[in-house]
Amino acid sequence: MNCAKALTLASFVTVGVVLAGCKSGSTAPAGDTTPPAAVTPATQPSMVMPNQGKMPTPPATLEKPAASSMTHMLTKDEPYYSSMPGTDAKSLGMVKSGTKCLVMIPGDTYSKVLTEDGATVYIGTDGLEPIPAKK
């Protein structure tokens, strides 16, 4: 028998064995079909957070960033917020026109900035103007 006939015969035998195995009469999938046990809070591992329940203490004085790191200047007085403001957020105060800042996270309406005084706040993006590069 030559190689081509032997391969063809082997292929038919393999297909026949596979088809015969499919006709075993069982419609259930092979293996264990028992559903896994539900994970409940009692069985979940507890999560341990560093400094659990304690907020970090902010420094008494803010470090002022280098003047050369400032990228923008305020063109008008802008209210500032400690986090991204929602529709009914109340500002914490005003940042004066002419204040230099580093834009950390630019946004369409509000941007997160680091002011020249070292405060990280959210202010209106429309009041920010890029500082021209020195030549």
The tally of domains found in the chain comes to: 1
Cβ atoms 100, 72 nearer than 8 A: yes
Name the pLDDT band for 54 (thresholds 50, 70, 90): low
| Rg of the Cα atoms in the chain | 34
Per the prediction, the chain carries an average pLDDT of 74
Dihedral sign computed on CA atoms, order 82, 87, 91, 94: positive
Cβ atoms 90, 77 nearer than 8 A: no
- pTM of this structure: 0.53
Other Cβ atoms within 10 Å of 99 Cβ, number: 21
Q: Which residue has the higher pLDDT, 134 or 9?
A: 134
With respect to residue 12, please indicate whether it lies within any of the assigned structural domains.
Answer: no
With respect to residue 117, please indicate whether it lies within any of the assigned structural domains.
Answer: yes
Q: Rounded distance, CA 106 to CA 125, Å?
A: 8
pLDDT of residue 114: 93
Q: Rounded distance, CA 109 to CA 87, Å?
A: 12
Query: What's the domain range around 111?
Result: 67-130
With respect to residue 102, please indicate whether it lies within any of the assigned structural domains.
Answer: yes
CATH code, domain with 112:
2.30.30.40
pLDDT of residue 42: 56
Q: Is 35 helix (H, G, I), strand (E, B) or coil?
A: coil
